[in-house]
A and B are shown apart, each in its own frame.
Chain A
Amino acid sequence: MAATIFMVVRLRNLFAVVMLGGIYSLLAAALLVVLDAVDVAFTEAAVGAGISTVLALGALSLTTSQEKEPSRRPLYTLAVLFVVSVTGAALIFGSLDMPLFGDPAAPIHGHVADTYLAEGQAATGVPNIVTAVLASYRGFDTLGEVMVIFTAGIGVLLAFASAQAGRKPDDEVGGGEDDE
Chain B
Amino acid sequence: MSHHLVVRVIAKFLIPFIMLFGLYVQFHGDFGPGGGFQAGVIFASAFILYALVFGVETARKVVPDWVVRTGIALGGLIFGGTGIVSLLKGGNYLDYSALKADPVAGQHIGILVIELGVGITVASVMTAIFFAFAGRQRKG
- Residues in chain A within 8 A of chain B (CB atoms): 38-39, 41-43, 46-47, 50-51, 54-55, 58-59, 61-62, 122-128, 130-132, 134-136, 139-140, 142-143, 145-147, 149-150, 152-154, 156-157, 160, 163-164, 175-176
Contact = CB atoms under 8 A, between A and B. Distances in A.
Given A46-B41, A131-B35, A123 B104 contact: yes
Interface in B110-124: 110-111, 114-115, 117-118, 121-122, 124
Main secondary structure of the interface of B (DSSP, over half): helix
Contacts of A47: 37, 41
Given A126-B108, A160-B132, A51 B32 contact: no
A131 to B, nearest CB: 5
Given A135-B115, A143-B94, A156-B132, 11 more contacts: A39-B35, A58-B134, A62-B136, A62-B138, A126-B30, A128-B31, A131-B35, A142-B114, A143-B83, A157-B128, A163-B136
B125 A149 contact: yes
Contact of A42 (B38, B104, B114, B129): B38
Contacts of A124: 104, 107-108, 111
A46 B42 contact: yes
Contact of B37 (A43, A59, A140, A156): A43
B54 to A, nearest CB: 15
Main secondary structure of the interface of A (DSSP, over half): helix
Contacts of B80: 143
Contacts, number: 141
B114 A176 contact: no
Interface residues of B, number: 53
Contacts of A54: 45, 48, 52, 130
Contacts of B138: 61-62
Contact of B75 (A123, A146, A152): A146
Contact of A146 (B33, B121, B134): B121
